[in-house]
Amino acid sequence: MPSRLALTIVAATLTACAEPAAKPAVKAEPTPGHASAKLEPATPATTGAKRSTYSQCNVAGPFIAITFDDGPHGANTPRLLKMLKDRGIKATFFVVGQCVAELPEIAKQIVDEGHEIANHSWSHPLLTKLGEGSVRDQIERTHNVIRQTTGAVPTLFRPPFGAFTANQRAWAHATLAYTSILWDVDSNDWKHRSAAKTESIIRAETRPGSIILCHDIHTPTIDAMPATLDALLGKGFKFVTVSQLLAMHVEKPPAPKAPPAKPIPAKDAADAASSPDQQQSASPAPAKP
């Protein structure tokens, strides 16, 4: 019998471009994808190697990136764009290919207004469960529809559910020069559907270099944005696109290794072993009555 988790993921992938009334749109209960995203290291494998994955950045200044997944949405995305424009904020939109195909004018508006548009697959499946050909189709179809619709060539990819194997990540990086983007601030807006909770989480968890995860397909998320954005601006944060944030990133130097312990000379070790204190500590404790 299929597990509850499997059924949740299948149900989640059937919805796109619009907000359902009851169940999550394209997010599910915490999935293996979320777990693997946090366990896979985002640091270079060797010194000087370029990262292929980021969940946050180390920056000198109060710079942050806010991101919106799963759109564009016919009503919510234009409303959000107005809020961003009024505040002079640039965001990054990880779009679903089939939604771009259905709403090309909104996808074009995202780019025309100076925001970054990025790849979030064609129909939001769990990519780690697909074969190589299906993964290529999901990513390449979306890459092409973004380029043909907006004129922009995406350079960033966010895997649905945050789930992307090391081999898939390497292929996307080598073939399309994609950097995989995760997040360090998860608003959980898809789960609680509360404007107040979305605002509270983002305000509490955002730090310099943060990449904030939201979804522009949910109306409560858009309802939360005016107060959320104004609060972050009030704290002195400066919004940039994800690519701009990556350009500011500086790798932290590795922590210095502790010097190796010096070996104890054989004579000193022998003397210590034969000392009365050492012999007493090595003797078994008397049995209790």
List 120, 124, 215, 218, catalytic entry: 215
Alpha-carbon distances, residue 284 vs 204, 262, 278, 281, 289 (angstroms) = 54, 30, 12, 8, 15
Question: How far is residue 70's CA from residue 137's CA, in Å, rounded to a whole number?
Answer: 18
- Please enumerate in sequence order all residues whose Cβ is within 8 A of that of 202, keeping only pairs 6 or more positions apart, or say none: 185, 187, 212, 214, 224, 228, 232
Q: What angle do CA 287, 288, 289 make, to 5 degrees?
A: 115
- Please enumerate in sequence order all residues whose Cβ is within 8 A of that of 173, keeping only pairs 6 or more positions apart, or say none: 52, 179, 180
Instruction: Tell which residue, 96, 77, 94, 73, has the closest CA to residue 13.
Output: 96
Cα-to-chain-centroid distance, residue 37: 8
215 is catalytic: yes
Burial class (CB in 10 A: 0-12, 13-18, 19+), 107: buried
Burial class (CB in 10 A: 0-12, 13-18, 19+), 197: middle
Question: How far is residue 88's CA from residue 188's CA, in Å, rounded to a whole number?
Answer: 25
Q: What angle do CA 59, 91, 78 make, to 5 degrees?
A: 170
List 69, 70, 186, 189, catalytic entry: 69
69 is catalytic: yes
Catalytic residues: 69, 215
